[in-house]
Amino acid sequence: MSQVSEESKREIALGIYEAGLLNFGEFTYKSGIQAPMYMNLRNLGSHPKFLKKVAKVFAELMDDLEYDLVAGIPYGAVSVMMAVSLELEKPVIFPRKESKEYGMAKDIIGDFEAGQRVVVVDDLVTTGDSKIECMVPFNAAELVVEDHVVLLDYQRGASDLLREHGMRLHAAMSVEEAVKIIAGEGLIEDEMFDKAMAFLAEGSSQA
């Protein structure tokens, strides 16, 4: 498995903070959970210069993987998927959000053939449940998916879950690593850092 350099990790961590994709404060999640931090990597496409750096990091991670196609999960991963495709000059496919009942009635957008190997890319992963759910159309199309590559991992059991289903998870870095780098640059107060670490530890213990 290819590793991401420490310098690349630093660029990613500081980049997501400076772009406002990772914020610290008081937030209420959709589930009702109160949190000291909030991640919104879906807006990566609004920062094309930084997105280019992200694509290069994905290229580092995918250097020793064997695949024919790059796939993303709509809609959060679309910008990442396209950036990676351009960086590696690999064709992309992606499942429709909803099944199509007209035209060619294909549940996957893009050109592919049964038996081709696909790497699924995404911005982040929590428990890994959504990665398993996204496999339905790929399996139906007889595509081979063995690897999922993400920018950030919340480390809440996704790697183990994917392994149970015969797949591998490759992450550029953990969310905890990113927070530590940001704190190390003096960008957040010690109290906020402690709250963020406690929040991440609590989530990991519940995975």
pLDDT of residue 207: 39
pTM above 0.85, yes or no: yes
Cβ pair 88, 70 in contact under 8 A: yes
Q: How many CB atoms lie within 10 A of CB 167?
A: 18
Burial class of residue 103 in the structure, from the number of CB atoms within 10 Å of its CB (0-12 exposed, 13-18 middle, 19+ buried): exposed
3-state secondary structure of 155: coil
3-state helix, strand, coil in the chain (%, to 5): 45, 25, 35
Strand partners, 92: 70
Looking up tokens 């991640």 gives: 39
pLDDT of residue 110: 93
Q: Based on C-alpha coordinates, what's the Rg of the chain?
A: 17
Domain residue spans of the chain: 6-201
Burial class of residue 97 in the structure, from the number of CB atoms within 10 Å of its CB (0-12 exposed, 13-18 middle, 19+ buried): exposed
Cβ pair 149, 58 in contact under 8 A: yes
Let me know how long the chain is: 207
Assigned fold of 6-201 = Rossmann fold (3.40.50)
pLDDT of residue 74: 81
The span from the CA of 84 to the CA of 65, in Å, is: 14
Amino acid making up residue 38: Y
Cα angle: 23, vertex 121, 92; to 5 degrees: 130
pLDDT of residue 171: 96
pLDDT of residue 1: 58
Give mean pLDDT in consecutive 10-residue pieces for the chain, a chain of 207 residues. Answer: 86 97 92 90 95 96 95 88 97 79 62 96 93 92 96 94 96 97 97 96 61
